[in-house]
Amino acid sequence: MALDAIAVRCIVKELSETITGGRIDKISQPERDELVLSIRTLTENHRLALSASPSNPRVHFTKISKKNPAAAPMFCMLLRKHIGSGKIISVTQDGFERIIKICIESYDELGDLTVKYLITEIMGRHSNIILTDADMKILDSIKRVDFSVSSVRQILPGMLYAAPPAQDKIPLTEFNVKEAVDFSQAESADKAVMKAISGISPIIAREAVHRALTRSGTAADDSDMDLSKKIGAELSRIASDVKCGSFSPCMITDASGKPFDFAAIRITQYGNAANVKEYDSMNALVDDFYSVRDMKERMKQKSADLSKLLNVNIERAAKKLIILEKTLCDAEKCGQYKIFGELITANIYRIKDGDANLCAENYYEDGAPQVIIPLDRSLSPAQNAQRYYKKYTKAKNARIEASKQLKITRGELDYLESALAALEMAETENDLNAIRTELTNEGYISGRAAAARGKSQSSSKPMHFISGGFDIYVGRNNTQNDYLTLRMANSLDIWFHTKNIHGSHTVIKLGLDKDVPEAVMRAAAEIAAYYSKARSSSQVPVDYTQVKNVKKPNGAKPGMVIYEHYNTVYVTPSPHTEIKSAD
């Protein structure tokens, strides 16, 4: 967990300096485990996010705006009652733990001035947001914890709030350089530091070792007291900076610019292996780091049922395809059955009752080679001939039906895989609702089951980009792909799609100007590649042609089209967020 007690101390310092004395204007709960407080100070307004998410718990100012549920959850209503319009008195860190306590003054229903505490505990899957009164009696929490969840510590209304049990470690702020870190039970120096010191994340432990020895992962050696002193000195320097409020927030990104870690102190351990981006504010850093990560995590959770449904149907269709292909292969023998029937009929005078087989000349082949035909001893020669004619008729009919079903199953498998690709690229809950509606219309979800979920069917529009004065539109799902290509686009507009790869339809609207610059064409191709299954690849083939060359076969499922007279360009996928329209 990168959000360690050092980062929490830095965030608390910034919050205390910014919102102390501010008033809470609005309280919302966009997620079941997340709150957003709108706070008004004398100079500006702030949005404070408090999350008890098991995977991404945090507290920070945010610029991200989320859609709120139509009916506010009970905990949100309780907060509005007790701390709505309240004044923030202080923001503190509980000891050197990942616990942030906001003290709020507000008037109760009798007009008396009261004090409440809004406590956020950042503890992984045990994270919670708790409201208490001035005497630390719990009024409620965003997650209630009873004996069935934890026998050690319960969080229930009416109980007195007690801090989580302390770890058997030395808090960084209390670390004394004279205390040697015990390396005897750890395989590396940074792990020994993690085992001995509380409030730090692995990146801080590695940084302390790196600063001391210019490398991390040093083999542990209990006898190397010099090692312990060097690392202890670095830990003391870090602790001193933390206690005096000297921080250097920075985010660590890989070569592609993707963030993978952050810290509240300067990081030097990666050298040229990674990029270190410095921030003026820890709140801004945390907001940037978690905005995409948290969105993806929550979308993954909300789409879990759809993902399971699609994967089950894909597996079923794939198995059906194997069976049909085997049936078709077996049915290819139908011609042999007919020949056997003909040969038995032609040589019926030679067959005696009880014969196990017939050896006859196959005059249907050049040279009339000898062929041995198995017979059923319990049947007469004529009945044996009829048996082979029936097998021929059955195999012929099976071949016709298998060929028909094979085409249908391949189309269904193609559609399901495209729907799964759209699901993986979904960015908002409206995108998920659109896919859910599409699957309901196609019969994969019962109408009753869809209605039981109570999801609002808000209509979404294709994504809109503007490049060089040209409008570029991208479908978010198969239904939108059909609408974009078959209804919204004109015949001369330019249509893009990844070659033999599931992805979104992309269209450049020409308008009056028909001369599209090469840069705009490439941008559209890169966007089409990004919104496809090949998002993580490079040199992705993207076909493009005029919309008039794109056709939808009769009976084809949503998003399924064929096209001709196209060209292909190879591009590296890019979201081109700089040209994405907000509409």
Together in a domain, 24 and 135: yes
Q: Specify the DSSP element, H or E, that contains 43.
A: none
Together in a domain, 266 and 348: no
Instruction: Assign 131 a pLDDT band (cuts: 50, 70, 90).
Output: very high
What does the pLDDT read at residue 456?
47
Boundary (domain end) residue, out of 237, 272, 299: 299
In a domain, 160, yes or no: no
Together in a domain, 30 and 79: yes
Find, among 161, 207, 534, the residue nearest to 526 by Cα: 534
Stretch among 390-399, 403-412, 555-564 having the lowest mean pLDDT: 390-399
520-523's contacts with Cβ under 8 Å and 24+ in sequence apart are 520/467, 520/468, 520/470, 520/472, 521/494, 521/569, 522/569, 522/571, 523/465, 523/467, 523/472, 523/574, 523/576, 523/579
* Helix orientation angle between 282-302 and 304-331, rounded to the nearest 10 degrees: 40
Instruction: Assign 223 a pLDDT band (cuts: 50, 70, 90).
Output: very low
In a domain, 73, yes or no: yes
What does the pLDDT read at residue 256?
66
Residues in Cβ contact with 283 at an 8 Å cutoff, skipping those fewer than 6 apart: 11, 14, 15, 60, 61
List residues bridging with 273 in a β-sheet: none
Together in a domain, 253 and 360: no
What does the pLDDT read at residue 105?
96
Contact 198, 169 (CB under 8 A): yes
What does the pLDDT read at residue 178?
61
Token pair of 498 as six digits: 């990844």
In this structure, the strands spanning 250-253 and 99-107 are unpaired
Together in a domain, 360 and 472: no
Of 12 and 254, the one with more pLDDT: 12
What does the pLDDT read at residue 255?
74
- CA atoms of 455 and 446, how far apart (whole Å): 14
In a domain, 147, yes or no: no
Please check the confidence at residue 75 and state whether its pLDDT lies above 70.
yes
Q: Specify the DSSP element, H or E, that contains 64.
A: none
In a domain, 150, yes or no: no
For the residues 424-452, what does the mean pLDDT come to?
A: 81
For the residues 201-210, what does the mean pLDDT come to?
A: 91
For the residues 87-113, what does the mean pLDDT come to?
A: 93
Amino acid letter for position 346: A
Instruction: Assign 451 a pLDDT band (cuts: 50, 70, 90).
Output: low
Tell the residue number behind the tokens 């809109």, with chain if given: 464
Q: How big is the chain, counted in residues? A: 583
Largest CA-CA distance found in the chain, in angstroms, rounded: 114
Token pair of 423 as six digits: 């699901």
What does the pLDDT read at residue 181?
67
Stretch among 216-220, 357-361, 458-462, 539-543 having the lowest mean pLDDT: 216-220
For the residues 352-381, what does the mean pLDDT come to?
A: 87
Instruction: Assign 139 a pLDDT band (cuts: 50, 70, 90).
Output: very high
Please check the confidence at residue 382 and state whether its pLDDT lies above 60.
yes
In a domain, 152, yes or no: no
Q: What is the pLDDT of residues 19-43, one digit of tens each?
A: 999 999 999 999 899 999 999 999 9
Contact 33, 143 (CB under 8 A): yes
**Residue 271, domain extent:** 170-299
Of 546 and 348, the one with more pLDDT: 546
Residues in Cβ contact with 198 at an 8 Å cutoff, skipping those fewer than 6 apart: 5, 96, 167, 169, 170, 171, 172
Together in a domain, 229 and 266: yes
Find, among 247, 233, 283, the residue nearest to 59 by Cα: 283
SS3 396: helix
Instruction: Assign 448 a pLDDT band (cuts: 50, 70, 90).
Output: low
Count of the separate structural domains present in the chain: 4
Query: What are the b/e assignments for 31-58, b being 16+ CB within 10 Å?
Result: bebbbbbebeeeeeebbbbbbbbebbbb
Together in a domain, 504 and 400: no
CATH of the domain at 22: 2.30.310.10
What does the pLDDT read at residue 450?
54
- CA atoms of 393 and 335, how far apart (whole Å): 10
In a domain, 165, yes or no: no
Boundary (domain end) residue, out of 420, 450, 484: 420
- CA atoms of 139 and 137, how far apart (whole Å): 6
Stretch among 59-73, 188-202, 331-345 having the lowest mean pLDDT: 331-345
Amino acid letter for position 206: R
User: Can you say whether the dihedral through the CA atoms of 148, 152, 153, 158 is positive or negative?
Assistant: positive
Contact 396, 389 (CB under 8 A): no
CA–CA distances in Å: residue 495 to residues 480, 491, 521:
14, 10, 10
Please check the confidence at residue 63 and state whether its pLDDT lies above 80.
yes
CATH of the domain at 383: 1.10.287
Q: What is the pLDDT of residues 479-521, one digit of tens each?
A: 999 999 999 999 999 999 999 999 999 999 997 778 899 999 9
What does the pLDDT read at residue 104?
97
Together in a domain, 183 and 113: no
Amino acid letter for position 302: K
Together in a domain, 244 and 120: no
Together in a domain, 12 and 128: yes
Together in a domain, 271 and 314: no
Boundary (domain end) residue, out of 299, 323, 349: 299
For the residues 198-225, what does the mean pLDDT come to?
A: 74
Average pLDDT over the chain, rounded to whole?
88
Percent of the chain with pLDDT over 90: 54
Contact 209, 189 (CB under 8 A): yes
* Residue 334 burial class via C-beta count within 10 angstroms: exposed 0-12, middle 13-18, buried 19 and up: middle
Please check the confidence at residue 357 and state whether its pLDDT lies above 80.
yes
Please check the confidence at residue 185 and state whether its pLDDT lies above 70.
no
In a domain, 52, yes or no: yes
For the residues 100-120, what does the mean pLDDT come to?
A: 94
In a domain, 354, yes or no: yes
Percent of the chain with pLDDT over 70: 93
Token pair of 34 as six digits: 């997340």
Together in a domain, 292 and 353: no
